[in-house]
Structure 1
Amino acid sequence: MPRTARLDIPGLLQHVIVRGIEKRPIFLDDEDRAAFVERFSTLLVDTGTHCYAWALMTNHFHVLIVPQRETLAHFMRRLLTGYVVTFNRRHNRVGHLFQNRYKSIVCEEETYLLQLVRYIHLNPLRAGLVETMAELDHYPWCGHSVLMGNVKLAGQGTKEILKRFSRGPVKARALYRQFVADGIDQGCRDDLVGGGLRRSQGDVSSTEDVESFDARVLGSGAFVEQLRQQEGLQDKLDPAMSLSQLIDRVGSLLNVSPEAIRRPSKARLPALARGLVCYLAVRKLKLKGIAVGETLCLGPSGVSLAIRRGERLILEHPEVVEQALALDQFCFPIDLNS
């Protein structure tokens, strides 16, 4: 399926993860790391971009930033292209260094800012690049040491984070450090960096299933709806097809009439079709479950049950999603009795 467009306008908190091509190292030594950090810091200052967290690993890195005057794409292009030129020249190599498409997740600031700062800054400890919190406090390739006052990085905002713990810098650093240490036992937080289309709302099966969400957003349904209203994002957050089109497509796919899908029925094929419509509409097209339920004469709990039914169908027939959502190809009927 085609890639979705980035949600990229100035002023959004973005968690960016960049990986080396074929999982190869992108930093071979401290000189590489220093060159990257110098370029990163210079760009932060030159573009007025706010940075709240960052961590350099071996074959990838994390940054938590809010572009102000430029788009994320412009900032990242300058950062990555410049570093690749330096890296290739220094190591006498040619070709790509990074994967073609980095991951960027728009984050709801008030809900997730501190959690993301902690998650990103614990990466070196989780990966074994440092062994203790004391080492992390002075580790030069992570924004935690900057917040602790042991390393300086022009462009990284420390006051914005520390003031959330206390007005006094000494107490604020102590409370911040304890907050980070408390996150060690949480392990890898897949809910903050992955987890598919449901990342922003966790694994729920109640009426929460009907909230708006988006694969590119870490935040509540209300936050997703706010993004829909922002100039420059409306088209990018709109669904690829209407609910009516989806019902017609699923009907063709499963040999069920659209009318049979729209009316309540306990017959096997119509029930499966309704489940598939609910799953694709809510999970893939980001339509509101309430609107889907109104069209299919289902309440919130009915939509949740139908989503789970559709999910089971997808597990048994994974090709269904590709065919049901492909806008530029004819969908051959699926024989569910085969």
Structure 2
Amino acid sequence: MSRPKRVWVPDCYYHIVCRGNRRDPLFRNASDFQAFLHILHQLHEKYPFEMASYCLMNNHYHLQMKSEEYPLSKLMSQVNKRFANYYNTKYRLTGHVFEKRYYDKIIEDKQGMLEVSRYIHLNPIEAKMTRKPEHYPWSSFYLYKYVPSVLPCFMNISSLLDYYEGTLAQKREKYCQSLFV
């Protein structure tokens, strides 16, 4: 029996989650996290997409993203394939790296956008990996808390900050405070 075809709405953000096979670690050290972010950067050049937030945990990742030109299924296939190749080569493994197909859910409105980003950015706190989201290095939260010297090419922080009024600094502050309300 075949799997149902995924629905892709080009102008909508999706919450995407993918877990390591058998809940095994996907990211064993800093270079694995960096490799995943590098893959996103490379793919953005070929298949443009936007990301509002992300969090890379030890055995899974969360992405809040949209693609207007290419179906997300094509993009995510490339992300997971490239990372699996990297991972299996680095650790001299064969076979599945990911548990199953990635999970995706369309985000339909402002409330959904803010709830998903909140969930993503607070994931390391819920997992008791850190006490503050700005202390977790593999999340996009720092891009909202601080003014980065360089914004990753695939990030679009205005997709969340534009829900708030004020100067850019005020919007950043309001967004960060909203995570803890």
Distance change (3 Å), C-alpha of 1:111 and 1:178: closer
Q: Counterparts of 1:3 and 1:78 in 2: how far apart (Å)?
A: 19
Which whole-Å deviations, capped at 9, do the CAs of 1:251-273 have from their partners, x for residues lacking one? Answer: xxxxxxxxxxxxxxxxxxxxxxx
1:141 aligns with 2:110: no
Q: Is the 8 A contact 2:110 2:163 kept in 1?
A: no
Q: Please report the TM-score for the alignment, with normalisation by the length of structure 2.
A: 0.90
Distance change (3 Å), C-alpha of 1:46 and 1:138: farther
Which whole-Å deviations, capped at 9, do the CAs of 1:106-140 have from their partners, x for residues lacking one? Answer: 12033311111111111011112212x2xx22432
- Alignment length, in residue pairs? 179
Distance change (3 Å), C-alpha of 1:50 and 1:85: same
Distance change (3 Å), C-alpha of 1:97 and 1:82: same
Q: Is the 8 A contact 2:41 2:153 kept in 1?
A: yes
Which whole-Å deviations, capped at 9, do the CAs of 1:233-255 have from their partners, x for residues lacking one? Answer: xxxxxxxxxxxxxxxxxxxxxxx
Matches within 5 A, 1:80-229: 80-131=80-131, 133=132, 136-149=133-146, 151=148, 152-182=151-181
Q: Which amino acid aligns with 1:91?
A: Y
**Which consecutive residues of structure 2, in runs of 5 or more, have no partner in the other structure?**
none
Q: Which amino acid aligns with 1:119?
A: Y
Higher relative contact order (CA 8 A, sep 6+): 2
Q: Is the 8 A contact 1:121 1:143 kept in 2?
A: yes
- Answer with 143-152 or 168-177: which moved more: 143-152
Determine which structure has the larger strand proportion and give its number: 2
Q: Which amino acid aligns with 1:52?
A: A
Task: Give the structure 2 partner of residue 13 of structure 1.
Answer: 13
**Which consecutive residues of structure 1, in runs of 5 or more, have no partner in the other structure?**
183-338
Q: Counterparts of 1:103 and 1:172 in 2: how far apart (Å)?
A: 30
Q: Which amino acid aligns with 2:10?
A: P
Q: Work out the percentage of aligned pairs sharing the same amino acid.
A: 25
Secondary structure of the corresponding residue to residue 156 of structure 1: coil
Q: Which amino acid aligns with 1:111?
A: Q
1:32 aligns with 2:32: yes
Q: Counterparts of 2:67 and 2:137 in 1: how far apart (Å)?
A: 23
Determine which structure has the larger helix proportion and give its number: 1
Q: Which amino acid aligns with 1:174?
A: E
Q: Please report the TM-score for the alignment, with normalisation by the length of structure 1.
A: 0.50
Q: Give how far 1:8 is off.
A: 2.1
Q: Is the 8 A contact 1:41 1:155 kept in 2?
A: yes
Task: Give the structure 1 partner of residue 63 of structure 2.
Answer: 63
